[in-house]
Structure 1
Amino acid sequence: MKTGISLEEAQTLLLDLVEPAKECLVPLTRAVGRVLSQDIWSDINLPPFDKSPLDGYALQANDTIEVSSSHPVILDVIEEVRAGYTSLKQVTSGTAIKVLTGAPIPNGADVVIKFEDVNRKGNKLELFYPLKSGSNIICAGEDVGQGEIVAKKGTLLNPPLVGLLAAVGVDLVPLFSKLKIGIISTGDELIDPSDDLRSGKIYNSNFYSLSAYCSKLGAEAVSMGIVPDEKDAIVERISKALEDTDLVITTGGVSVGDYDIVPTALDHIGAETIFWKIDMKPGSPAIAAKYKNKLVIGLSGNPAAAFITFDLIVGPIIKRMMGFFQELPPRITATLADDFNKSSGQRRFLRGRLDNINGINYAKLTGKQSNGVLKSMVDCNILIDVPAGSGPLIVGQEVLAVVIDNY
């Protein structure tokens, strides 16, 4: 077992132990928020035919070469075509076909003119200015060409991508299987928000936040309930979670107090402890163990410490298991917009808000930075990475930050 390791070593150790989940085919209607397990190629052009983007008339540009407001050209309207239908006739010199938005361009036509730019009397059409061939035509394959890759393996399906897949005729999508993540809250002091608050008790906020984090990543959070600070109870609950879920997260009970029992419980189960304690603040008492190819990650019971460790360690594990392109959060440089008056003997992560003003990244602290403070996480989208041995930070100082964006 390693102890007091760096964040980067903890990330590497855990990411090396996990692989993407199995593949499955899922109906497109249930695919949003999931990750592609294969590249998707288009079998068709999109659009599949040349079409009109507006209501107008399809004709030949050559008929308008010498047209002017004083010398209009007169064409015969020989047919009307709306979306979903094709023309029965062909445009020839001196003729035009009325087309409605989305209608295929009739054979022989190479330009479309808007309704409002012509005069029509009966089947006669007057045009008053020359047209350029190809104007107001959406060409076949303009959006996606046949044989073009539409989305790559590891891509998260968002609503526009779901629509694009539907547009090229995909109805079943190859995805990585959805993860089940068991969340166990330990502590005699915890009660559910649905209960009346009693003396000495606090509401279990960690489960709800971590569950939301998992859901935003596309995983299914499974509540394994609140467990008292008793070894046998924790052993039973972790064992149950390992049976029923793909990854187990615990909160609380990972420090060195008399009632911090999670490390002992993991030993009792027979799990191999990978590391205990990370050299960072907050979140240093985190523990990671492996049992029969499944991971158990124990996080601090303090809300901010738990969430920051989730962002930096658990989130990347989930992303790798779900097949994401990029597991680790990106890093940026920014200009500090606030003073931070404490020295940092240990590597520290500060909750901040990234704003880009006139092309410059500014990092603004979001509030109090103590381990148990939850409110400063609400507007937090970066974690300012303060190296060990740093003195107080001052406005205008350049800092490094991890972009978390609250998923």
Structure 2
Amino acid sequence: MKYFIPVSEAKKIIESQIFRTEKITVSLLEAQGFFTSEPIFATLDVPSFNNSAMDGYGFRFDDLADFSELKVMHIIPAGVSKNNFELGRGEAVRIFTGAKIPDGVDTVIMQEKVTRIEDRIQFNGNEILKGENIRLKGSQTRLGTKIIEENTFINHAVIGFLSGFGIDKIAVYNKIKIGLLYTGNELVESGKPLLDGEIYNSNSYTLQSALAEINHGFSFINHVEDTEEATFSAIKKSLETIDVLLITGGISVGDYDYVKPALEKSGVSELFYKIRQKPGKPLYFGKLDKKMIFALPGNPASVFSCYHQYIKPFLLGCFGRKDFEEEKDFAISESFAKKKNKDQTQFLKACYSKGKVRILNAQESYKMDSAAQANCFVEFPEKATEINIGEKVTIWRV
């Protein structure tokens, strides 16, 4: 059991538990937002034939030495697969972008660089290079070449690229089955009136929308009553059906915090409990067989920070992502007067732009107005006790 450990150690423990989800095959359009589970190889040469890069005229380059003008004999639009003619000496073809280059043509000149009089073209003195404006077969990709690595995130650019090879199905890592339990008798759902002493539930909304951004969702979301029996029952039942269980609230040491003892009673092995960080000190990470459990404190800012620092990297790692690099060398643009204990890491909500970072006000764990403005966290690391204007810092994008 690891207790009250540094951030770096917590991240190493979490990273050591990353598992790959099962491989499934989906249609190309369904693959949006997934990660590839195996390399993808070119199914054909691209381009698959020599074609024109311009609307213009195609001809034999060597004819320029003997002819001052060329006679246009044929028209070749895109999409014509066969050209049943043989280009004669002193002849040219009218050709359009993407059209197949016929036998005998080795050069294309764009239409703006010639003068056409009836069926003849004259060149306007521009330098002409042999082979110009022709896209050669396989000049982008050769048949059998690896075109996409395993663990590649699939976005619209990847989909468009693969569709150019006629690929309609690909292998990806499946989504993770995730459940959410949130505790707190004081929590009320949005849209309902508040009684004295109650607050609106925000954590489940934060986490639902956060998962949607990484192409995931919860298998279930349950509000758990703050009793020992209800907490144990909810955890026990949840662990029967999911890969990852998230719990918010009830993980500290108060009289109504039943999550940790309920996890122990359920047979969950504790991998660590509490991190030397702010916000989110009482973060819990454990496992039962191959099922992983994150128990987060209930403060909304703690949930927001812990999700981005620990849960999101873990989930994306299981889903197929490989790299989780922080970004360095961003300079603090304004004075930040806060000091801290040297044994603690803080994650400060901030905004970055053009190499500069502005640390926001309202960093307390119950305040979410700064989270709504932030596009990154500044890591205020262990051993550091203050941050000054112009200082280079590490950021984590939100």
Q: Give the TM-score taking structure 1 as reference length.
A: 0.91
Shift of residue 389, structure 1, vs aligned partner: 5.2
Shift of residue 221, structure 1, vs aligned partner: 2.6
SS in 2 for 1:257: coil
Alignment of 1:135-146 (within 5 A): 135-146=132-143
**Residues of 1 paired with 2:89 and 2:360: CA distance?**
69
Q: Match for residue 31 of structure 2?
A: 31
Residues 60 and 292 of structure 1: is their aligned pair in 2 closer, same or farther, counting only changes over 3 Å? same
Count matched residues: 394
Q: Match for residue 109 of structure 2?
A: 113
Which shows bigger deviation, 267-276 or 389-398? Answer: 389-398
**Residues of 2 paired with 1:335 and 1:222: CA distance?**
41
Paired residues of 2:41 and 2:145 also in contact (CA < 8 A): yes
Shift of residue 127, structure 1, vs aligned partner: 2.5
Equivalent residue in structure 2 for 1:160, among 154, 157, 161: 157
**Residues of 2 paired with 1:177 and 1:44: CA distance?**
28
Q: Match for residue 119 of structure 2?
A: 123
Residues 65 and 7 of structure 1: is their aligned pair in 2 closer, same or farther, counting only changes over 3 Å? farther
Equivalent residue in structure 2 for 1:75, among 59, 70, 78: 70
Alignment of 1:341-380 (within 5 A): 341-345=337-341, 346-356=344-354, 361-380=355-374
**Residues of 1 paired with 2:227 and 2:254: CA distance?**
13
Identity %: 29
Paired residues of 1:312 and 1:329 also in contact (CA < 8 A): no
Alignment of 1:277-316 (within 5 A): 277-316=274-313
Shift of residue 203, structure 1, vs aligned partner: 2.1
What runs of 5+ residues in structure 2 fail to find an aligned partner?
A: none
Paired residues of 1:36 and 1:323 also in contact (CA < 8 A): yes
Equivalent residue in structure 2 for 1:237, among 197, 217, 234: 234
Paired residues of 1:64 and 1:131 also in contact (CA < 8 A): no
**Residues of 1 paired with 2:312 and 2:152: CA distance?**
16
Which shows bigger deviation, 78-87 or 119-128? Answer: 119-128
Q: Match for residue 70 of structure 1?
A: none
Q: Give the TM-score taking structure 2 as reference length.
A: 0.93
Shift of residue 217, structure 1, vs aligned partner: 2.0
Q: Match for residue 17 of structure 1?
A: 17
Q: Match for residue 101 of structure 1?
A: 97
Shift of residue 254, structure 1, vs aligned partner: 1.2
Q: CA RMSD in A?
A: 1.9
**Cα distance per residue 1:299-338 (max 9 Å; x no partner):** 1211111111111111121122112121x34241322112
Shift of residue 145, structure 1, vs aligned partner: 2.3
SS in 2 for 1:83: coil
Paired residues of 1:60 and 1:109 also in contact (CA < 8 A): yes
Residues 58 and 268 of structure 1: is their aligned pair in 2 closer, same or farther, counting only changes over 3 Å? same
**Cα distance per residue 1:104-128 (max 9 Å; x no partner):** 1111111212233333344323333
Q: Match for residue 257 of structure 1?
A: 254
**Residues of 2 paired with 1:165 and 1:200: CA distance?**
56
